[in-house]
Amino acid sequence: MAAKKIMMIRHAEKPSDDGAVHGVALNGNDDPKELSVRGWQRAGALARFFAPISDQLTDSRLAKPDVIFASGIVSHGASLRPQNTVLPMSELLGKSLDLRYSVGDEEALVADALATDQTVLISRHHEAIPGIGNRILGNATTCPQKWPGARFDLVWIFEQLPGSDQWSFDQVPQMLLAGDLPETISVSQ
């Protein structure tokens, strides 16, 4: 068996580069490697976005994740943002986060995600997302090759085509917080 659907999100909002917006740890202390207040709001909203009380997802292309991957921590990049973005969802669903794959382990992450016979959700840094998409799709032309630095509000969806080893690609705007955009990322960017 193999995964039929893989969804991917960027971690939620982070501190600003100019220091005006701070990162906040779970205990409320300032932490530059953490989500911003808005990022924690998105993390909470994502829990019900992927696991609504009514079991009625806002878009038929979405699915409740069975397996949740998030970036593990490495010494040169100790950001907790990818895992804390999906932490409220994992707790709500009673699913453990799979943190085995750090930055640089994308090939192994994709191999494991593809081998999983359940619906997969991956939370990563935006720089890694296009490369992961290319590995799933088997090409560098179907999905955008750059994730804009200001976008935290999309879900990329990869679905295996019936009776094939080929994958389709789609994007779903989250539309969870004020300021979220309804537009997707252009493939030609």
CATH at 162: 3.40.50.1240
Residue 187 within any structural domain of the chain? no
Residue 73 pLDDT: 76
Is the pLDDT at 169 greater than 70? The verdict is yes
Is the pLDDT at 80 greater than 80? The verdict is yes
Is the pLDDT at 78 greater than 80? The verdict is no
More confident residue, 77 or 143: 143
Residue 9 within any structural domain of the chain? yes
Residue 180 within any structural domain of the chain? no
Residue 186 within any structural domain of the chain? no
Q: How many domains does the chain have?
A: 1
CA neighbours closer than 13 Å in the CB half-sphere of residue 49:
23
Residue 114 within any structural domain of the chain? yes
Residues in the chain: 189
Residue 129 and residue 84 in contact, taking contact as beta carbons nearer than 8 Å: no
pTM of the model: 0.95
Residue 179 within any structural domain of the chain? no
Domain range for 104 is 5-173
Tell me phi and psi for residue 80, to 5 degrees: -95, 0
> In this structure, what is the dihedral angle of CA atoms 10, 139, 166, 51, given to the nearest 10 degrees?
0
Q: Which of 185, 184, 188 is nearest to 140 (CA)?
A: 188
**Residue 171 DSSP SS3:** strand
Residue 126 within any structural domain of the chain? yes
Residue 133 within any structural domain of the chain? yes
**Quick one: pLDDT band at residue 1, thresholds 50, 70, 90?**
low
Is the pLDDT at 189 greater than 70? The verdict is no
Residue 123 pLDDT: 97
